[in-house]
A and B are shown apart, each in its own frame.
Chain A
Amino acid sequence: MALLEVDKVSKRFGGLLALNGVSFAVEKGGILGIIGPNGAGKTTLFGVISGFIRPSSGDVHFDGVRITGISPDKLTRRGLVRSFQIVQTFADMTALDVVTTAALTRRPIREATDYAADVLTRVGLGKKLDETPATLSLQDKKLLELAKCVATDPQCILLDEVMAGLTMAETEAPIGIIRELNRQGVTFVMVEHVIPVIMRLATSMVVINFGEKIAEAAPEEIVKDSKVVEAYFGEHLDA
């Protein structure tokens, strides 16, 4: 059964049609990769699924329930949580404070702090509990974004470019964490620019260009799709 279903979602910003009838589904336990060139509408799509943006038309279903228009905090409590492409900083809270707040979604405060410390240790930030997010390196900030999501005990995590800006070596840590969580049953939807990374993780792929879905297939198929190659590299010269 599909855990997350996106059904003909469109979003219009004034004269711009940012999303045009996009549909896809993610199976429970799957990892869906969403790719597409800059400005294709990936972040808008994420905003719609996570409840930050209300679609102009179309619906989103999660775990069999229609969730269109439900606020982000309620979705998080239902088990659908997102990370942000631009790492969100907190001026006056430590990494432990921030992740503790996330852990409060499902835990009483006496357990939340210990659990948050445990999650931070699991993502490799165990020695940085008392640092403020702003002082962390980019890689650590991305890991913190991941830890925040994990601490809410989600069924499904939406990752918005969690690898962007990292070197190939630095992506190994998040990849390992995502694999481990997936093995424990967490479903992922990832928007990603770093194609090699997403090829390694995804069980299925959706390609978006100019707000429309142009392809949907297994990772090894998708790179052969002429429309996808075109969207990324332009038309074949010899075609």
Chain B
Amino acid sequence: MIKDDFFKTLASPWLWGIVLLGAMLPMVLSSYYTHILTIALVYVALASAWNIVGGMSGQISLAHSLFIGTGAMLSAALLVKLGINMWAGLVIAAATAGLLGAIIAWIDFRFQLGHLSFVLITLAFAEMASIVVEGWDFLGGASGLLLPQDTGNFLDFQFGGGRGAFWVMLGLATIIVLVNVAILNSPLGYYLRTIRDNEKAAQAIGVNVLRQKTTAMVISAVLTSIVGTAYVRYLTFADPYLLASPVITIEIVLFATVGGLGRAYGPALGALLLVPLGEVLRGKLGGAVPGLHYFIYGIVVIVVILATPSGLLPLFERLFWRRSRMLPKI
């Protein structure tokens, strides 16, 4: 099912070394920096989950706020309004997100949407989702939902805030990046990349386009929803304007693109660099000249995209790992 390269990655001391070092960071960092890194890991997880659809099969989905919103708002509502355990809420929300993903993939196939139509249709789904959340009291309406305090009770999906949340996010982000590695080393990865590059030719060599696109979308939606549930637990407040708004998808697309679309570690790299940069800029400059941090952040993003259109990861590879097989031999 999966090529050996995946198991080599799993057995790599580099991978686990980096994860272990990362896991020790909250011991030495202040709670402020731990918070920034936790948010960065949320985006590593989200951008990597999005990458399965947006990067590998090349479908720029703007529907992902719908999946984040499902994971966050639905599981929060089930807990607050109906008293349903958040672990169960996580599963229910993930299943719902997977179903929504399958519906979107089917619509895309049934109506043979081009790239632009796909972007617009998924955006329409995301907009509808935010209207539903803001208008429906069960999901918290416009005022959102406040979750019970996190007392660290694992059975209630509580991880004790701060460090606990950091470790949960680190685990989720690692798993989702590894899912990316696994897909790229399995038939699904080959199918998706062929579909991205040339759908007609993919069909001619035996690729079932609907099945593979649906599989990708469902995996991506389920993972995104799970991150949404963990994220809302960390935030304790289910804010519809953050968790169910298309703006969050734009950020995800940005991080994935800057890092390297379709690559296993690209979106993770983008999020790990850009989230802390944005936060630090805001912290240092936000008070001085309002909006200046956004301006600098924007310039950095533009420069990166112009300098290396395929993302930072390929650039880093050229600089540090010249032996990589993907590169033209000089």
Residues of A within 8 A of B (CB): 50, 52, 71-74, 76-77, 81-84, 88-93, 97-98, 100-102, 104-105, 108-110, 112-113, 130, 148-149, 151-152
Contacts and interface: CB of A to CB of B under 8 A. Distances in A.
- Which of A83, A101, A110 has the most chain B CB atoms inside 10 A of its CB? A101
A112 B188 CA distance: 13
B187 interface: yes
B2 A76 contact: no
B198 A88 contact: yes
Contacts of B208: 71, 73-74
Given A81-B204, A90-B201, 12 more contacts: A52-B204, A71-B203, A81-B205, A88-B198, A88-B201, A92-B196, A98-B205, A101-B190, A109-B190, A110-B3, A113-B3, A152-B205
22 contacts: A72-B203, A72-B204, A73-B208, A74-B208, A76-B205, A81-B206, A82-B204, A88-B198, A90-B193, A90-B201, A91-B196, A92-B196, A92-B197, A93-B194, A93-B197, A100-B190, A101-B193, A104-B191, A104-B206, A105-B205, A109-B1, A109-B186
Nearest to A151: B205
B3 A105 contact: no
B1 A148 contact: no
Contacts of A100: 190
Interface in B31-90: none
B138 to A, nearest CB: 42
A50 B203 CA distance: 10
Interface of B: 1-4, 185-187, 190-191, 193-194, 196-198, 200-209, 262, 325
B194 to A, nearest CB: 5
A98 B203 contact: no
B191 A101 contact: yes
B310 to A, nearest CB: 8
Contact of A105 (B4, B186, B206): B206
A93 B184 CA distance: 12
